Amino acid sequence: MKKPPLQEVKERFNDKESLVQAVRELGGGEIWIERLNEKKGLKMVSNRKLLHLHDLLIQVKERFGSRAGLIDALLEQENRIKDQGYRTRLERYPTPRLWEILRAGEKRQKKASAAS
């Protein structure tokens, strides 16, 4: 059975403040677009969402190094490397959305290769 988010936060980060700090450090500039409500910030986000965001940012950083690398991988996956309009549109998307688009494309390619 999966652990509750609070227990996972306490095991991995000791408290929520450490988790918020870890997400901010990972999201510094190259990987994340800062779109937070200034009044609420990350402290008001649920533990589950913060854990998901932390894991996602780690995966993006390890695999691509930055948002630009992730966007380049998306463009290459869809054979639209020279399409500047599409690149501009992707640059407006938050990192989690870009990650989900990439994963969906990988699943499509996997199904297509298995079918043929």
pLDDT in tens, 42-85: 788 899 999 999 999 999 999 998 899 999 999 999 999 999 99
pLDDT (tens digit per residue) in 6-23:
999 999 999 999 998 998
pLDDT at 42: 78
CB 101 within 8 A of CB 70: no
Helix axes 47-63, 67-77, angle to 10 degrees: 70
Q: What is the pLDDT of residues 92-115, one digit of tens each?
A: 999 999 999 999 999 998 998 888
- pLDDT value of residue 35: 67
At residue 36, the pLDDT reads 66
Q: Where are the domains of the chain?
A: 1-63, 67-116
pLDDT at 104: 94
Give pTM, 2 decimals.
0.84
